[in-house]
Amino acid sequence: MPSPSRFLMVFLVLYGAMALLVGVNALVIGNTREYGDLDRLIEEQGRVKGLYRGLAHSFFEFRQRSYARRRPEVTIIGTSRSQEVKSYFFTRPFYNLGGPVYSPFQAGVLADKILMAAPPKTLIYVLELAPFCGKTDELDRRAQEWHADGGYSNRYWLVTRLLMEGRISVAQVFDLATGRISAGDDLFGISAALTGSGFGPDGSIYNFVRLREMATMDVPARFTQLFGLTDPSWSERCHLSRVAMNGIDAFVAKMHAVGTEVVLMLAPYPSKTLEGAARQNDDLGYLDEMRRELATKYPHHFFDFTDLRPLGANDCEFLDSAHGGEVAYMRMVNAAARDPLSPLHEVVDRAYLERAIEANAGRTMVADDDIGRRRPAMMALAEKLRCSR
């Protein structure tokens, strides 16, 4: 048998290279304050009122633990199109659980995993349109699929993975590893360090990076950027999905059983998107059927905010073709709370929202809290981008 020295030498060199990657990863994670216990991180985030956008911890787990600590009376669920709702809209403790719920099926699982342990008194469920498109079995199945944001990564290989997926450059890794880009006092996580954006202690998003991107494009360009990708149901000929409708009923019943009032809202689109959708598909009748059915079944609990123009909003209050900004959501929450029989009537700070909407019409971001006040340049940029078209 040959001497094992060559075998061991080659193995050692390869192992050393791999260990180097692990070491670099450890430096990056350490410098961006992603190491260690998630509970301690959340506690520190709450103490300094900072932003979290990490990758080393499961996003679900972050949400779950934050929610459990806060035990809110009011919460909101949905996709990224529910994340702009902030705690200062409300008079009662609030936490934004937006992000991982795309279909009613997922809402049910979120209830099992997070909500049932500490049921809120009021829950806003921001509905997407696509799960209601039940043209074929395949689309019905799609209604049961999950939102792709919920994964987690092995933290020890996170940087390697991000590099391999082209989501981070070697230069950025170098800067993060050497501390040239650091998270700062109130930022937690790689993404927060790189973008300055993240989730506040109330779980809502502070998307400052989007604000900077918007500054580089004119208003129509914002809406062509994502259109077509956001909602495949715009181009499908669909019938109303019973899977989705039954899923809504099951979710509402489940939450009712633990004393939670559910408010259903259809997520908003800018007028450019709605006009584009109408041009693309002249058969959106299933959506009207869905609206009628939900309005009949859930009076004072269902609100159709697909089109915000009747509430005075304009497209400048949208970040892109699918995501409303903070003021757009202020309008929705305020409008739903005006109904005296709505569960939101008693928990929304309507006087504040009326003033804020009046003062900030045409803006995407208000951030009327410590996080916003610590970033005057960002608030000035939001003001500069304000428009009325």
Dist. CA 84–CA 363, nearest whole Å? 13
Q: Hey, which bits of 231-318 come out as E strands?
A: 261-266, 302-304
Contact between 141 and another protein by CB under 8 A: the answer reads: yes
Dist. CA 78–CA 147, nearest whole Å? 10
Q: Which of residues 259-298 bind another protein (CB under 8 A)?
A: none
What Cα–Cα distance (Å) separates residue 35 from each residue in 30, 38, 48, 167, 250?
6, 8, 18, 20, 39
Contact between 117 and another protein by CB under 8 A: the answer reads: no
Considering only residues 91, 153, 271, 281, which one is a binding residue for another protein as defined by CB under 8 A?
153
Dist. CA 191–CA 172, nearest whole Å? 11
Q: What's the min distance (Å) between Cβ of 11 and another protein?
A: 4
Dist. CA 63–CA 372, nearest whole Å? 22
Contact between 161 and another protein by CB under 8 A: the answer reads: yes
Q: What's the min distance (Å) between Cβ of 66 and another protein?
A: 14
User: Of the listed pieces 40-48, 155-163, 262-270, 282-290, which binds another protein according to CB under 8 A?
Assistant: 155-163
Q: What's the min distance (Å) between Cβ of 156 and another protein?
A: 4
Contact between 144 and another protein by CB under 8 A: the answer reads: yes
Nearest to 125 by CA among 250, 223, 278, 227: 250
Contact between 5 and another protein by CB under 8 A: the answer reads: yes
Q: What's the min distance (Å) between Cβ of 223 and another protein?
A: 31
Contact between 64 and another protein by CB under 8 A: the answer reads: yes
| Torsions phi, psi for 99 (to 5 deg) | 135, -65
What Cα–Cα distance (Å) separates residue 103 from each residue in 128, 147, 179, 234, 254?
7, 8, 41, 17, 15
Asked whether 91 and 182 are in contact (CB, 8 A), the reply is: no
CA 231 to chain centre: 16
Contact between 135 and another protein by CB under 8 A: the answer reads: no
Contact between 257 and another protein by CB under 8 A: the answer reads: no
Contact between 19 and another protein by CB under 8 A: the answer reads: yes
> In this complex, which beta carbon is closest to another protein, that of residue 146 or of residue 352?
146
Name the residues that contact another protein, by CB under 8 A.
1-11, 14-15, 18-19, 22, 58, 60-61, 64, 100, 106, 109, 113, 137, 141, 144, 146, 148, 150-154, 156-157, 160-161, 164
